[in-house]
Every structure is written in structure tokens, then in C-alpha cells.
Amino acid sequence: MNRPSISVRRTEGKRVHGRSARVLEAVLDAALEELGRVGYGAFRIEDVAARSGVNKTTIYRRWPTKVELVAAVLTHAKEPPSSFDTGTLEGDVRASLFEMRDRLRDTRHGAVVRIVMAERAQPEVNEIVTQLRERYGSVRRKIFDRAIERGDLSPGTDTRALVEFMSAPLVTRMVHQGATVEDDYLEVLTRFVCAGARSFGSHA
């Protein structure tokens, strides 16, 4: 069985202008709205065509399957995080946490997160999410990779676990609980993450 790909084959790596860009935006915006309205199971390209005003043949030419269109929507709406390099572990973690909070506050990004969480039971969606998580998680792992290179963290530190350790509290508070996250909380979380990262070495 072929694994779904998150690449947008006809748009990634190419600049789109004018009408092509407007069509692309219209389809992806409409698809995001449809996902939010009906979920993945009932999602249909025909409904996206009607909502966007774009001929369904045009949509099928660019994204032949529902999986490819949904992958394009999630990739388009969920831009990769920035790669911060402030020169210190604390500075990089703090900057990443503040950006993460801003992204979760954003209506469009928040909608994508809710859709993903609601539809993870769908194998196709779970596969897309796994690939996206790997792609975007690799950016945040650079924070801890650089800290290892500087000697701030011990070699062999589990950087994957640290990214999850850093992200989970914000997702829990903002997505699951709908709570507001203030700057003071992010400062505490920064210290907590950095202390936890350094504790790996103390148990080696």
C-alpha cells in the first residue's frame, strides 16, 4: 500500500502568480473550511469546488486524490516554525515557545490543530500528521542539537523527547483547555525545559 505524500507536487518549489495564485489560495482556503465543517470522513473535492468557485477538474489536475488535497491544506495552513539561533539554549527555547504560542493563537493555525486532533483516527490523516510532525519537529530539534554542539547539553540527549516536552504544555493549555497563556508562564516553562534538558546528563 502506497503511503500518502505531503508534498504538493505541482506547487512546491514553483512560484505561482496571478490567476494561478488566486486559484491556489481559493481552493486551499475552501478546503480548510470544508475540513472544519465536515471533517475528513465526509470531505469531498466536489464540495471544495462549489465553495471555492473553481472547477473540480482543475482541482483534480493539481490534487488527484482527497489525501493529496488534505495534505496540501495542512502543509499550506501550518507553516514550519522558525529556526531560532540566539546563541544560548534559554534564548532559543524562549523564542520558540513565544512563537509557538502566537501560532496557536492564530485562528487559521488553531483550526488546523483542532482538525488534526479530531481526525487522527483516520489512517490517512494520521500518516499526513506523522510526516508533518517529523518535518516541523526537525526544525525545533535544531535548538537542542546546537546546544549539544556548544557543550551545553550532553551528547546522546534525546532531542525528540525534549521537543515533545517543550510543546505539550502549550498544546494542553491552549487547545485542550482553551486557556490563555501569559508571558510569565512561558518564562517558567523555558526554565523548566532547560532544566529538564540538562538533567539528561546528570543521569548518564
Question: Is 193 part of a structural domain of the chain?
Answer: yes
Residue whose C-alpha is closest to residue 33's, from 20, 21, 50: 50
Question: Is 148 part of a structural domain of the chain?
Answer: yes
Residue whose C-alpha is closest to residue 114's, from 68, 176, 165, 170: 176
What local confidence, expressed as pLDDT, does residue 9 receive?
A: 39
> What whole-number distance in Å separates Cα of residue 84 and Cα of residue 106?
20
Total of domains in the chain: 2
- Based on the fold, state whether residues 92 and 171 are members of the same structural domain: yes
- Based on the fold, state whether residues 57 and 115 are members of the same structural domain: no
The b/e string for 45-68 (b: 16+ C-beta within 10 A; e otherwise) is bebbbebbebeeeebeebbeebbb
> What whole-number distance in Å separates Cα of residue 29 and Cα of residue 21?
12
- Based on the fold, state whether residues 46 and 139 are members of the same structural domain: no
Residue whose C-alpha is closest to residue 129's, from 194, 40, 20, 24: 40
- Based on the fold, state whether residues 135 and 83 are members of the same structural domain: yes
Do 193 and 153 contact (CB within 8 A), yes or no? Answer: no
> What whole-number distance in Å separates Cα of residue 35 and Cα of residue 44?
9
Query: What CATH number is associated with residue 178?
Result: 1.10.357.10
Query: What CATH number is associated with residue 32?
Result: 1.10.10.60
Residue whose C-alpha is closest to residue 154's, from 90, 197, 98: 197
Query: What is the mean pLDDT of each successive set of 10 residues along the chain, which is 204 residues long?
Result: 41 52 90 83 92 94 90 76 89 95 78 72 79 84 95 93 92 87 96 92 50
Of 76, 100, 116, the last residue of a domain is: 76
- Based on the fold, state whether residues 195 and 176 are members of the same structural domain: yes
Question: Is 12 part of a structural domain of the chain?
Answer: no
Question: Is 10 part of a structural domain of the chain?
Answer: no
Question: Is 9 part of a structural domain of the chain?
Answer: no
Determine the residue type at 194: C
Collapsed DSSP state (helix, strand, coil) of residue 56: helix
